[in-house]
């Protein structure tokens, strides 16, 4: 009996020691929390360990899913066309995307935990950051801003969390330029129409109130007809631009033979030169030259638009080249298979600072000279739109005192050899 009791006590003690050892193993594992080190055992401690293993596995899956969502969110913000900068309560950079870094001139890694005010010292930005609750955005000069090539960045500040701030940036350069062009367009149209209307009104009043001889009436009517023709040309060009902007891209089922285009523009150029000269004679040296291999080439696109584009360039060359000067028009093929039409003159030339803006509506290098030549200020804008609609481009180069060169470049897909 004594031996049986001693054996039972010894067995109980052994079980308690084994159970304590199992508990110690589970406790040690829980302290580290590594699923790979989870003990494999039976009994209540095994049930507890398995339950803890499942909970830890679910927690790890939840953490992994949260981290993936955060990565996806940051990746989405990283690809956003707008900039995002996250600031802590001390206005230090916690994170920014690449767009904001480029626009504001900061480094997305090196400048982390740097005060934004130390990196951006623009007084306008400093004053904006000092506002307690800004309701509007502020526009700053962006990285790489130059007078001839402006860069304008809009910055909007929002508060969130415990004293943290969010800066949203957006490049508004094109928006501001478009708005400026719209204002200039309205002002220029009003001015261009008002001027001939004022002249017409004055002539009408003169004819109505004064007794004029037949010759004087004829003279005034001629001047009135000139102003009316000027307004008509302006309205027609405006309608052309409107049609170009609102029409679908020209299809591939229409063609215009290069030979016919060149002959038509050559006749126009000589006719205009004769009208500007004395005695009805052609007053310029006009040359139209084609690469013999392109004699049977055809442009693919809207014939009227293509005719208008080249006609505008040729007429400008004649108008702005003094009598006795040269106007040279040539057609050639590029190494990439493109087709180019080059219009070169020996006029006064154009200063380099004006070249980027020549295709803007109503932009003129010399307003008085342009009015004397009879231009509306819309010709090059029309040429640019025609080329864009046909997948081509307009290239302009010029030197003061030596003349200008305007080149139309059509991609290989927009011209073919003469079809049988």
pLDDT score recorded for residue 144: 78
The CATH topology of domain 80-171 is: Beta-Lactamase (3.30.450)
Ranges of each domain in the chain: 2-77, 80-171, 175-246, 249-417
Return the residue matching tokens 């003169």: 206
Among the CATH numbers 2.60.40.1120, 1.10.287.130, 2.40.110.10, 3.90.420.10, which is that of 175-246? 1.10.287.130
Q: Is the CB of residue 320 less than 8 Å from the CB of residue 308?
A: no
- Spatial distance between the Cα atoms of 136 and 105, rounded to a whole number of angstroms: 22
Contacts for 324 with CB less than 8 Å, ≥ 6 apart: 283, 284, 285
Q: Is the CB of residue 341 less than 8 Å from the CB of residue 408?
A: yes
- One digit per residue, the tens of pLDDT, for the chain of length 420 reads 666 767 677 766 776 676 667 666 666 666 665 666 666 666 666 666 667 777 777 777 777 777 788 777 777 778 788 899 999 999 999 999 999 999 998 998 899 999 999 999 889 999 999 988 888 899 988 887 776 678 899 999 999 888 899 999 999 988 888 887 778 777 777 777 787 788 888 888 888 888 888 888 888 888 888 888 888 878 888 888 888 877 788 888 889 999 999 999 999 999 888 888 766 688 899 999 988 888 889 999 999 999 999 999 999 999 899 988 999 999 999 889 999 999 999 988 988 888 888 888 777 776 555 455 556 678 899 999 999 999 999 999 999 889 999 999 999 999 997 754
Phi–psi pair at 405, nearest 5 degrees: -135, 125
pTM: 0.58
Burial class (CB in 10 A: 0-12, 13-18, 19+), 71: exposed
| Tokens read off for 291 | 């690469």
pLDDT score recorded for residue 154: 93
User: CA 155 from chain center: how many Å?
Assistant: 19
The CATH topology of domain 249-417 is: Heat Shock Protein 90 (3.30.565)
Phi–psi pair at 170, nearest 5 degrees: -150, 135
- Spatial distance between the Cα atoms of 131 and 139, rounded to a whole number of angstroms: 15
Q: Is the CB of residue 317 less than 8 Å from the CB of residue 345?
A: yes
| Tokens read off for 322 | 């003094």
pLDDT score recorded for residue 182: 76
Q: Is the CB of residue 259 less than 8 Å from the CB of residue 239?
A: no
């Amino acid at each position: 009996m004594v031996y049986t009791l001693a054996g039972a006590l010894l067995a109980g003690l052994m079980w308690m020691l084994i159970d304590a050892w199992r508990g110690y193993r589970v406790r040690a594992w829980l302290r580290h929390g590594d699923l790979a080190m989870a003990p494999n055992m039976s009994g209540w401690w095994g049930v507890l360990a398995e339950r803890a293993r499942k909970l830890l596995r679910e927690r790890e899956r939840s953490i992994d899913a949260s981290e993936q969502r955060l990565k996806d969110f940051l990746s989405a913000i990283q690809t956003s066309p707008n900039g995002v900068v996250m600031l802590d309560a001390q206005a230090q950079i916690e994170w920014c995307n690449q767009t904001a870094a480029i626009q504001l001139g900061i480094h997305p890694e090196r400048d982390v935990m740097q005060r934004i005010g130390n990196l951006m010292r623009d007084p306008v930005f400093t004053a904006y950051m000092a506002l307690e609750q800004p309701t509007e955005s502020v526009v700053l000069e962006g990285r790489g801003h130059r007078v001839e090539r402006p860069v304008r960045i809009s910055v909007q500040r929002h508060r969130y969390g415990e004293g943290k701030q969010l800066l949203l940036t957006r490049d508004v350069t094109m928006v501001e330029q478009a708005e400026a062009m719209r204002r200039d367009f309205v002002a220029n149209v009003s001015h261009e129409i008002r001027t001939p209307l004022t002249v017409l009104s004055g002539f009408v009043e003169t004819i109505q109130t004064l007794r004029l001889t037949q010759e004087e009436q004829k003279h005034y009517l001629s001047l009135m007809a000139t102003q009316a023709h000027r307004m008509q040309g302006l309205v027609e060009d405006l309608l052309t631009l409107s049609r170009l902007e609102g029409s679908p891209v020209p299809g591939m089922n229409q063609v215009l033979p290069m030979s016919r285009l060149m002959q038509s523009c050559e006749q126009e150029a000589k006719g205009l030169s004769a009208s500007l000269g004395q005695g009805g004679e052609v007053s310029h040296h006009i040359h139209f030259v084609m690469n013999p291999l392109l004699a049977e080439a055809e442009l693919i696109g809207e014939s009227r638009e293509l005719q208008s584009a080249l006609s505008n360039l040729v007429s400008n060359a004649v108008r702005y080249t003094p009598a006795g000067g040269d106007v040279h028009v040539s057609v050639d093929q590029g190494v990439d298979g493109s087709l180019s039409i080059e219009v070169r003159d020996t006029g006064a030339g154009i200063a380099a600072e004006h070249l980027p803006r020549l295709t803007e509506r109503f932009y003129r290098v010399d307003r008085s000279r342009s009015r004397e030549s009879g231009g509306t200020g819309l010709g090059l804008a029309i040429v640019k739109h025609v080329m864009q609609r046909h997948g081509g481009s307009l290239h302009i180069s010029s030197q003061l005192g030596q003349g200008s060169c305007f080149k139309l470049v059509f991609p290989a897909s927009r011209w073919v050899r003469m079809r049988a």
